[in-house]
Structure 1
Amino acid sequence: MSFYSLHQWFASVGVPPSVLNHNTWVYQVFAVVFLTLLVSYIAGLVFDRLCRFASNSVNLWDDVLLESARKPVRVLIWLIGILWAAQIAHTASEAEVFQFIDPIRRVGVIVVITWFLFGLAKRFELALQSPGRVKEPLDATTASAIGKLLRASIIITATLVILQNLGFSISGVLAFGGVGGIAVGFAAKDLLANFFGGLAVYMDRPFVVGDWVRSPDKNIEGTVEHIGWRLTRIRTFDQRPLYVPNATFSTISLENPSRMTHRRIQETIGVRYEDIAQVRNIVDSVKCMLVDHTEIDDKQTLIVNLNQFGDSSVNLMVYTFTKTTIWVKYHEVKQDVLLKIAEIIEQHGASIAFPTTTLHVASLPEQFAQAGMLQNKV
């Protein structure tokens, strides 16, 4: 921008012409802007070198700190430089356009600091979840809760500090918020119920992101994808998203199968009545097979016994637990166990029973008995 253009602009905002005849302050403004540009460039070079050093270190937090401070520091340099130049122009003139320099400086510094802290909280949240950067990474739910609470605290604190610097009374704002909170509470009770429901989920942690949950009270079953302050998104097993208000979780029973330590195999296997003499040997062999099975936890409850006499079979109960909790692998283990039980029954000369009916006739009518005798003679 030329000096003539600067003259025109300052004249348009009310700077007296007598002041414009003295160009010393214009050179000072130009020098400040040039110095600001130079300092910003040097700061960028310094941050680039520090980031390279930090990337080679084992310390996690230097990376987080430098990445969060890079842009806010350069913006702060430009903010201070521009306002310094504006202060020089204000000293050389009494133009009303410069009377907001001090409020802008105070608010600008607070905004830049808030920006830095907000980015720091976000990177802190991501770093806590990274298994390659921390020894014991937090789960996504806990890390998200910590990050959200930090960011909410930063924004609320920054807002109150800005209001205080602009001349508003914080005590008055808080008092107004207390009175207005009552009205808002009645108007948005469902929203607040969901908020506190989400807070309870974060504190009690009945489930985390990635868990398989289901409710016997509601038609809810699927994998948790996201836990928000108002809604929790669950992906059902038919791949449909299910959005559940957080207040729901405070009124229903919730089951979390993802936290089971074992999966149970409970089967009833029938053997023919004519093979009842082999039942004891079959039971002993099946029990030994389960104890020796690599995928069966014999430290848990393990039962193989004759359980009841059924209508057409002698029923054996098989009750045991697998070591795996993975759904697909569990069914593979269960299949292997059932096939080995079938082999054991066959090895003992017995057979698995199927529904049959035996009819006992006490006597036959005379004509049927004679017909039977004729057939026997033939």
Structure 2
Amino acid sequence: MKLEQLWADLEAMQAEAGWLTEVIVVAAVILTANFALSLLLNRLYVKSQATTNPWDDAIIDALRKPLALLVWIIGIAFAIYIVHSKTQATILEAAGPIRNVGIIACFAWFLIRFIKGVEKNVIERRQQIGMAVDKVTVDALGKVLRVSVIIIATLVTLQTLGFSISGVLAFGGIGGLAVGLAAKDLLANFFGGLMIYLDRPFTIGDTVRSPDRNIEGTVEHIGWRLTHIRTPDKRPLYVPNAVFTTITVENTSRMSHRHINEIIGIRYSDLDKMQPIVTAIRELLSQQPGIDTSQKMMVNFTSFGPSSLDILVHAFTFTTEQADFQNLKQEILLGIADIIARHGAEIAFPTTTVHLPDAVILKETRGTG
């Protein structure tokens, strides 16, 4: 009896050692496969960097981490299958569905990384060769594609786990109505961001302002909910996208010209000098290289003001950059002041003249000590 019991124990140990050895072999294969794939992908990535094609290096870089995880998922699932065939443990039956979900997740992860890689490469390659690229459009397309991948992967996962997609979609319709009512502001911001991407009233780097709201600055980021603007005094301003659907927005970065529109007043006593002053100012603007003479340019005596004779100076500059425009405008205004002085006139300032009847005599009144 003792020999029979000992023999049975030896057979049990041998059987246990057998599946344990198989699991160890599977683990070794996983490590070897990951190491080999890592070396192969690294070499392919280095070679793909030398090409101008934005797709090849994006595919290889996107494969690295998801492929390594996929090897581990398949290897571990196979090892669990070995253990389950020997032990018949019920809990190990969940390995199959988990493996399927992991494979779907790896594939979705790869697609998301691939989309990000292509988005980055397209922008970088076009900038390197000096081609214009609309970063906002590229970013919008990337976001839409990534969201689509996540939605499809979620539906496929639910189908794999045994859920009915038609039932999920029906529930989603009812749930979507409830969510829409509860989060209408969030949805308004989402669709506002979508309209910005489609209509493109501004893009990243543009300087914008709104006469309807206290909004002015440079656009730094356009998200699905908020647009980040850096104000002239360097404060960050976060504007909900829904706001842009209800206000007027001026994009000063897309100006073709800047406008000089000034009223210059001279004294009433200098009326006889008005015509030569107007002519000289008109010649000053015509000879100024920063003024676009093909646009409407006006220098005219326009009105008798309360305390001055008013001259309208109306012209357009080539430059649209704020600092350059202010320097040019300063140069022109100083030139106008010099013209007025050379003609013996003076720039008027608010004065009041009191006319008294001839019968009124002003007497000096001295105080008595």
Give TM-score scaled by structure 1 length.
0.84
1:87 to 81, 90, 93: 81
1:152 to 132, 144, 147: 147
Code of the aligned partner of 2:127: G
Name the SS for the 2:127 alignment partner.
coil
Gaps of 5+ in 2: 1-10, 364-369
Name the SS for the 1:150 alignment partner.
helix
Name the SS for the 2:260 alignment partner.
strand
Q: How does 1:116-195 map to 2 (within 5 A)?
A: 116-130=110-124, 131-133=126-128, 136-195=131-190
Task: Determine if contact 2:221/2:228 at 8 Å carries over to the other structure.
Answer: yes
Separation in 1 of the partners of 2:262 and 2:75? 79
Give TM-score scaled by structure 2 length.
0.85
Q: Confirm whether residue 279 of structure 1 aligns to residue 279 of structure 2.
A: no
Code of the aligned partner of 1:71: K
2:305 to 310, 316, 328: 310
Q: Cα gap change, 1:171/1:367 in structure 2, threshold over 3 Å: closer, same or farther?
A: closer
RMSD value over aligned CA atoms?
2.6
Q: Cα gap change, 1:109/1:360 in structure 2, threshold over 3 Å: closer, same or farther?
A: same
Report the more deviating stretch, 320-329 or 330-339: 320-329
Q: How far did 1:135 drift?
A: 5.2
Separation in 2 of the partners of 1:255 and 1:139? 19
Task: Determine if contact 2:54/2:122 at 8 Å carries over to the other structure.
Answer: no
Q: CA offsets per residue over residues 216-247 of structure 1, 9 Å max, x none?
A: 33333333333222233333334333333222
Q: How does 1:234-245 map to 2 (within 5 A)?
A: 234-245=229-240
Q: How far did 1:93 drift?
A: 4.2
Separation in 2 of the partners of 1:43 and 1:135? 36
Q: How far did 1:58 drift?
A: 2.3
Name the SS for the 2:301 alignment partner.
strand
Q: Cα gap change, 1:367/1:286 in structure 2, threshold over 3 Å: closer, same or farther?
A: closer
Q: Confirm whether residue 301 of structure 1 aligns to residue 301 of structure 2.
A: no
Separation in 2 of the partners of 1:293 and 1:255? 28
Q: Cα gap change, 1:348/1:152 in structure 2, threshold over 3 Å: closer, same or farther?
A: same
Q: Cα gap change, 1:296/1:119 in structure 2, threshold over 3 Å: closer, same or farther?
A: same
**Residue aligning to 1:329:** 324
Task: Determine if contact 1:128/1:137 at 8 Å carries over to the other structure.
Answer: no
2:201 to 179, 186, 206: 206
Separation in 2 of the partners of 1:18 and 1:60? 58
Name the SS for the 1:319 alignment partner.
strand
Code of the aligned partner of 2:112: F
Q: How does 1:63-78 map to 2 (within 5 A)?
A: 63-78=57-72
Gaps of 5+ in 1: 1-16, 369-378
Q: How far did 1:22 drift?
A: 5.3
- Identity of paired residues, percent? 49
